[in-house]
Structure 1
Amino acid sequence: MKKIGLLTSGGDAPGMNAAIRAITKTAMHFGIQVVGIRDGFEGLMEGRFINMKYTDVDNIIQRGGTILGSARSLEFKDKEKRKQALENVIEAGIEGLIVIGGDGSFRGAHVLAQEVNIPVIGIPGTIDNDLYGTEATIGYDTALNTIVAAVDKIRDTASSHKRIFFVEVMGRDSGFLALNSAIASGAESVLIPETITDIEAIANQIKSQNKGRRSSIIIVAEGDEEGGAMDIMRKIKPHLEDFELRTTILGHIQRGGSPSYFDRALATRSGIKAVELLLAGETEKMVGIKADEMITIDLIDAIEKNATPKVEREELLAKLLTK
């Protein structure tokens, strides 16, 4: 193998640049040219290729986002649209592909592997931590730290004004960010997609908790079945007429920022492992981590299996450190 392609796809995650750096340096150590593909599968279809050099990955390990750019390309789902991508891969002489992204990105990689018969390795890069088979995805730890720091600041204001804050975090289909940020920030409650939200029960819980208390923080995953923080506040307000309610939507600040130590180390180890898998002749595998050991998971399992087990609300609340 003399030439491999590399792209980042879907939502950006802190640590993607660290993975790009590790892949490029590891491949060049083995005499392999890395072809950087700009803007994910969109760039693959349009042939936006660059031959990566050591200087391209200098001083990027600390940077958030992705130097290659990313995009969510719906056109790649069209078989006719993919033909140009396949032609570009063949014309460029790319013999293997590493895709950094989430489940949608891996679906595209799986299709590409089937249609052009090219080895493909996936590296999970998503702040949601919602891929089956790995304990952590690149960007998850940094996003958690960002959320906790923001909630700490919000609580200062909440306590000063005796307010109830509903703080919305990312997590369209998964409650990992919401649950673990709630635990770490000492939130009074958390609403996630994996459980049924009972508006009246939450209101009663707030009433009982706030006797003599100056504030409460409720973390809301954006994918909760009752809606985001604004929807929850609107629905719960009739039950809490004596309380001052506020919402904060953290939004895209959760994606940005310099990656944490954990995400830099995970991304670096994942990038090295991905190159080693290609050199070993592996294909359609995802790199993961379990008990601090790098592992591999079948790409199809990472795509199709559910990473988040259903839990009862009582079991979830029992995990919270506050009452």
Structure 2
Amino acid sequence: MGIMEPVKIAVLTSGGDAQGMNAIVRAVIRTALHEGARPFAIREGWKGAVEGGDLIREMSWGDVSTILHRGGTIIGTARSDRFREREGMRAAAKNLVSLGIDRIVSIGGDGTLTGTNELKLQWSSLLAELVELGEIDQETADRHPTLRIAGVVGSIDNDLVGTDMTVGADSALHRIIDAVDAISSTAESHRRSFVIEVMGRHCGYLALMSAIAGGCDYVFVPEMPPADGWEDDMCRVLRAGRKAGRRDSIIIVAEGATDRRGERITSERVAQALEAGLGEEARVTLLGHVQRGGPPSAYDRWMPTLLGYTATLELLRSDGEPVIIGTRRNRLVRLPLMQAVEDTRAVKTYTAEGDYRRAVESRGSSYAEMIDVFSTLSSPVPRRAPSAKRRRIAIVHVGGLAPGMNAAARTAVRFGIDHGYDMVGVQNGLPGLVDGDIIPLSWSDVDSWSGSGGAELGTRRTIPPVEDFYTMGRTLEEQEIDGLLIIGGLNGYEAAALMKEERRRFPAFRIPIMCVPASIDNNLPGSELSIGADTALNTNVEVLNRIKQSASASRRCFVAEVMGRNAGYLALMSAIASGAEQVYLAETGITLKQLETDTKVMIDAFENGRRLYLVVRNEYASEHYTTDFLARLFEAEGKELFDVRQAVIGHQQQGGNPSPFDRLLAVRLIRRAMEKLDSLLVQGRDDCAYVGMAEGQISCHPLSRMEEQWDPRTRLPYDQWWLGLKDVAYIVSNPHHSGPAEVLPIVEDA
């Protein structure tokens, strides 16, 4: 019996490039190596498959060692006219089968995936032609009767129907928001209008989400062409904003936006309409390909890693039909490849036929929801008239600072005013409620808060002692507070529970109280992600990248400590997104036996040519095996082989402007919280509850059920969805990891 040849698997990127493609390539190659397969890279997309030769090259572990942080795609991308013809497709089949390749992870947009599927459909007939022409023998054809394919969508437009986020979209949104924030400051200084054109030929995701996250005034998206007379409506909205106190006006235009006659709404056309309607010159900025450039965001490093890992296992362990590995509700999903492509292309048809409702609905329920959200946030004119008795809702931050608190407070004020309430802010946390430090908040007061870091209202971890509850109650009564919105961490939830307990003694607490999760620790009940965690993760990844660059000139181990307290979310996701070789979490702890094994692995790595070894440690991973201890241990055992440095990232993780994701998460969570508060006030109820996002859905939970989801002993949620990703971190970052590759949980096939 002959020795079975290892399975060979190829990866290619085609079509437009997108940040995060390199993370997929890296994950595919390293997962294949871990599974005993031989990975190949097809360079320059399908052009490389057609031309063959050096454009199809076997890859090693080290070939992808320094690509995780890089934008674009290191294996190149190109469109191939020859591949669209039978002759070109036959040449591609010959080049692949001659190398023994019959499995492909295809990364790109709908055109790339369609071409890949077509090659699969024609595979057997192409091989038959090659045998007939004498270019391959029958034995070769028989060894590779079928082509197995798995797709991962790389597209900054986020235009694939069926997946929540395509690779590159989050990074592109970062580029846009950076520009919007920069332009906003100069626009406000000069009381000026700016028109910003962003990418999105058929999908308005980038335009709509950047308009919400950037606090903009008006937006044009392809799926919802404005009605005739949009010029007058736009000028009316902008005039109302200026009258309410706005100093600047920013309009976002998707490049594929049209009116209902199908004529393009260009940024120049919008600027001309502003000049005619408002009598002022508007400045135009076309962001262009800068949206594709630059390093990928943290999300576009860790999520593509999971997608590439899963796509590889799909090809190695399954004989099923072609699928796209995508995301849905923060979980991986299998999508039938051509069904997803056809559903995506149908959106263009709906728009062309004037069925705008169906076009928007095809993008998913959250897309339609966010269109309505933008209308509320951008309009200073409330849709509901205030009641005869003006009701007041107070906003207070409790807990450590989390980037995005300002965005959450701004959204609460805008939604509260829209529902006819008076909104007030409690300054400096709950001690401010004791001191009566409360200020009114108008529509314009919070106008610039969307993109600003910190917390304009201030925040404190302090929960006042019970003896101060009488004073707090008096403040609530004197200020005529009818509802309380707490934005913050665990201390806020615990304070709400105490207020509920003290209602018998202090009737002033008999008001509805809503808690909204905002904590970089990401350790709150009922929510898989908290406001601030994504920003902190991006900060960590940026710092860790610089650490790795500083070590490139020497043989060095770095031990980096990140925040998180009892929760290892930041540590693990930072490790995956930065390519760290080792990570220590509070949930799993550190043992002496583990350190002995890890030290041996590290020494072996340096003896075999490694120049950098990155270790990430959660701040509460061990009481005794501190960051300093680990650094000293590794240095002592490494002797002269390598040196060791330590870095405590610290409070940088709480600083900086919030990421687009945290701004959008704040909007979604606050919207649900304010809807619940409004419902309770209308019904005259005094429930206490908290909101959270689980599997992509925003839900409300009674505060009394908190311990069903949260362990008071560990101060952690019972279900931490991300803990199962630890093995992936090792498989794609450490060649010495010998454990089995576990299939990640995938929601039911769509």
TM-score between the two structures when normalised by the length of structure 2: 0.42
Secondary structure of residue in 2 paired with 1:67: coil
Higher alpha-carbon deviation: 223-232 or 51-60: 223-232
TM-superposed deviation, 1:87: 1.5
Alignment length (residue pairs): 322
- Assess if the C-alpha contact under 8 Å between 2:157 and 2:203 holds in 1: yes
* CA distance, structure 2, for counterparts of residue 224 and residue 292 of structure 1: 29
Partner residue, 2:430? none
Mark the CA change 1:233 to 1:315 in structure 2 (over 3 Å): closer, same or farther. farther
- Assess if the C-alpha contact under 8 Å between 1:162 and 1:244 holds in 2: no
TM-superposed deviation, 1:234: 3.2
* CA distance, structure 2, for counterparts of residue 33 and residue 199 of structure 1: 58
Q: Which has the larger radius of gyration?
A: 2
Q: 1:130-173 CA distances to partner (integer Å, 9 max, x unpaired)?
A: 11211111111111111111100011111112211110111000
* CA distance, structure 2, for counterparts of residue 164 and residue 314 of structure 1: 27
- Please point out which of 242, 247, 250 is paired with 1:217: 250
Q: Counterpart of 2:205 in structure 1: which amino acid?
A: F
- Please point out which of 312, 319, 323 is paired with 2:373: 319
* CA distance, structure 2, for counterparts of residue 229 and residue 206 of structure 1: 16
Output aligned runs, 1:186-197, within 5 Å. 186-197=215-226
- Assess if the C-alpha contact under 8 Å between 2:50 and 2:82 holds in 1: no
- Please point out which of 268, 281, 288 is paired with 1:230: 268
TM-superposed deviation, 1:230: 2.2
Q: Counterpart of 1:232 in structure 2: which amino acid?
A: V
Secondary structure of residue in 2 paired with 1:203: helix
Secondary structure of residue in 2 paired with 1:234: helix
Output aligned runs, 1:272-311, within 5 Å. 272-279=309-316, 280-306=318-344, 310-311=359-360
- Assess if the C-alpha contact under 8 Å between 1:127 and 1:137 holds in 2: yes
Mark the CA change 1:207 to 1:315 in structure 2 (over 3 Å): closer, same or farther. farther
- Does structure 1 residue 206 correspond to structure 2 residue 249? no
Higher alpha-carbon deviation: 196-205 or 166-175: 196-205
Mark the CA change 1:161 to 1:182 in structure 2 (over 3 Å): closer, same or farther. same
Q: 1:204-249 CA distances to partner (integer Å, 9 max, x unpaired)?
A: 2223322353211111000001333123323543223x22201100
Output aligned runs, 1:100-179, within 5 Å. 100-116=107-123, 117-179=146-208
Q: Counterpart of 1:239 in structure 2: which amino acid?
A: G
Q: Counterpart of 2:33 in structure 1: which amino acid?
A: M
- Please point out which of 12, 19, 38 is paired with 2:24: 19
* CA distance, structure 2, for counterparts of residue 235 and residue 89 of structure 1: 55
Partner residue, 1:5? 10
* CA distance, structure 2, for counterparts of residue 101 and residue 138 of structure 1: 9
- Assess if the C-alpha contact under 8 Å between 1:162 and 1:215 holds in 2: yes
- Assess if the C-alpha contact under 8 Å between 2:202 and 2:222 holds in 1: yes
* CA distance, structure 1, for counterparts of residue 18 and residue 197 of structure 2: 18
Q: 1:261-299 CA distances to partner (integer Å, 9 max, x unpaired)?
A: 111111110011101111122341000111222110000
Partner residue, 1:92? 99
Superposition RMSD in Å: 1.9
* CA distance, structure 1, for counterparts of residue 161 and residue 65 of structure 2: 32
- Assess if the C-alpha contact under 8 Å between 1:132 and 1:301 holds in 2: no
Unaligned stretches of 5+ residues in structure 1: none
Mark the CA change 1:154 to 1:110 in structure 2 (over 3 Å): closer, same or farther. same
Q: Counterpart of 2:203 in structure 1: which amino acid?
A: S
TM-score between the two structures when normalised by the length of structure 1: 0.94
TM-superposed deviation, 1:316: 6.0
- Assess if the C-alpha contact under 8 Å between 1:121 and 1:274 holds in 2: yes
Q: Identity rate of aligned residues, in percent?
A: 41
- Assess if the C-alpha contact under 8 Å between 1:166 and 1:247 holds in 2: yes
